[in-house]
Amino acid sequence: MAGVTLTDVAIRAGVSQATASRVLNGSSRRPSPAAVEAVRQAAEELGYVSNAQARALAGAQTGLVGLVVHDIADPYFSSIASGVQVEAAQRDRQVLLATTLRSTEQEIRVVEAFLSHRTDAIVLVGSRLHTDDGRRDQQRLTGLLERYRGLGGKVAVIGQPLPGTHTIAPENRAGAAALAKALIEQGTTDFVVLAGPQKLATAVERTNGFVRELRRAGHKPLAVVPGEFTRDGGYEAAQQMIASIRPERRWGACVFAVNDVMALGAMAAFRAAGLRTPRDVLVAGFDDIPTLRDHDPGLSTVGLPLHEMGRRAIEMALAPDAREQSVTRVAGRVILRASTKPPRARA
């Protein structure tokens, strides 16, 4: 492995050494996508690591930590980032933040950039994709992280586990099932699920956990509506639901959105359609993002300790035994607020 050179990579990829250098070492002159893919694949197959990267990670610590999130505008990620920042500061580390906008290709590029910036550790936050492209990119990411760790880098993940990493894994299925059970116990019998994108592992886990608990109790959802994992995605999914089900006033069914920002978008769509929460339709979410404190009516949800998850990720990544893989499960807590208060309880 140590003897692999840039020339070897260029020959394997069928490009010039200059082109290979532009791809692997960074350049304002960007080669064609086909050349970029060929060079990266050749580098992965040969196990190539640039001399600069090897020297950086083999030397003294830089005091830098790389944090990778899907979307910093989403309160879920910003809350976790706050915990990362607090713990990193206590350990005299500076945080470099990058967003991927849910692109696995961009995630790989960010990890490559953090490696070149000599970060002591990398924290990856976000769900994995259940698609062929997503699985292929995850294999590439796993290989890159393995080489990074081999050079002394440390990695922590918040989401689905990746091989060889410390992982903080929210119990999405169990949390969603507990929420469904609590809603059934308070007398709710009709449900709609705003399921998020079915290529996203977190959305699938939460949808499955909720629906399975409904079926266990003898219920089934009136509809399962996919959508983007965003506020606008929740708004549009709720509009689709309204168009297909045509709920009347005092409908009384509960709409479960697989994250809070989708739930808030759905509530906005219901208001626009003349439906009030909770008088006409009940709404629940998942995550307990901080912005819910100022929302009226209060949103029922499954609370995750987001700030603590970020803090714990840094603690795990920088621990002396951080090279040993571990998975820490994080249970959610059902929080019932006014948005799911059933009509008869308000009589």
Confidence check: pLDDT of 140 > 80: yes
Closest to 337 (Cα-Cα) out of 287, 286, 284, 294: 284
pLDDT of residue 322: 54
Pairing of strands 94-99, 121-125: unpaired
DSSP string, 164-175: TSEEEEE-HHHH
pLDDT of residue 2: 46
pLDDT of residue 138: 85
pLDDT of residue 55: 47
Strand partners, 201: none
Confidence band of 115 (pLDDT split at 50, 70, 90): confident
Is position 323 within any domain? no
Q: How many angstroms from the chain centroid is the CA of residue 170?
A: 10
Tell me the C-alpha distance between 230 and 263, whole Å. 9
191 with 338, same domain: the answer is yes
Query: Any residues with CB less than 8 A from the CB of 143 and at least 6 apart, and which?
Result: 44
On the CB side of 301, CA atoms within 13 Å amount to 23
Is position 53 within any domain? no
Q: What mean pLDDT comes out for the span 130-156?
A: 86
Tell me the C-alpha distance between 70 and 12, whole Å. 33
Number of domains forming the structure of the chain: 2
Q: How far apart are the first and last CA of the chain?
A: 73
* Three-state secondary-structure class, residue 113: helix
Q: Where are the alpha helices (DSSP H) in 130-248?
A: 132-150, 172-185, 201-216, 231-245
Give the phi and the psi of residue 287 in degrees, each rounded to 5.
130, -40
Q: Answer yes or no: are the C-beta atoms of 169 and 151 closer than 8 Å.
A: no
Q: What mean pLDDT comes out for the span 167-177?
A: 97
Is position 209 within any domain? yes
pLDDT of residue 326: 86
Closest to 267 (Cα-Cα) out of 242, 245, 246: 242
Q: Answer yes or no: are the C-beta atoms of 97 and 81 closer than 8 Å.
A: yes
Structure tokens at 294: 């100022």
Tell me the C-alpha distance between 337 and 347, whole Å. 17
Q: What mean pLDDT comes out for the span 152-171?
A: 92
Give the phi and the psi of residue 122 in degrees, each rounded to 5.
-130, 135
Strand partners, 257: 194
Give the phi and the psi of residue 2 in degrees, each rounded to 5.
-65, -25
Determine the structural domain holding residue 19 and report its residue range. Answer: 1-48
Confidence band of 321 (pLDDT split at 50, 70, 90): low
Mean pLDDT across the chain: 88
Confidence band of 347 (pLDDT split at 50, 70, 90): very low
Tell me the C-alpha distance between 35 and 84, whole Å. 36
Lowest mean pLDDT: which of 57-71, 200-214, 289-303, 322-336?
A: 57-71
Structure tokens at 247: 């709920």
Closest to 22 (Cα-Cα) out of 34, 1, 4, 39: 39
Tell me the C-alpha distance between 284 and 338, whole Å. 10
Is position 125 within any domain? no
Q: In what order do the strands lie in the sheet with 94-99?
A: 94-99, 64-69, 121-125, 154-158, 166-170, 326-330
Q: What is the CATH number of the domain that holds 246?
A: 3.40.50.2300
* More confident site: 81 or 54: 81
* More confident site: 245 or 32: 245
Is position 258 within any domain? yes
Is position 116 within any domain? no
Confidence band of 44 (pLDDT split at 50, 70, 90): confident
Confidence check: pLDDT of 1 > 50: no
Confidence band of 68 (pLDDT split at 50, 70, 90): very high
Is position 86 within any domain? no
Is position 280 within any domain? yes
Q: What percent of the chain has pLDDT over 70?
A: 91
pLDDT of residue 304: 98
44 with 177, same domain: the answer is no
Confidence band of 49 (pLDDT split at 50, 70, 90): low
Lowest mean pLDDT: which of 44-48, 66-70, 207-211, 224-228?
A: 44-48
Confidence band of 344 (pLDDT split at 50, 70, 90): low
The position carrying tokens 């079915």 is 198
Q: What mean pLDDT comes out for the span 241-262?
A: 93
Q: What is the CATH number of the domain that holds 6?
A: 1.10.260.40
Confidence check: pLDDT of 46 > 80: no
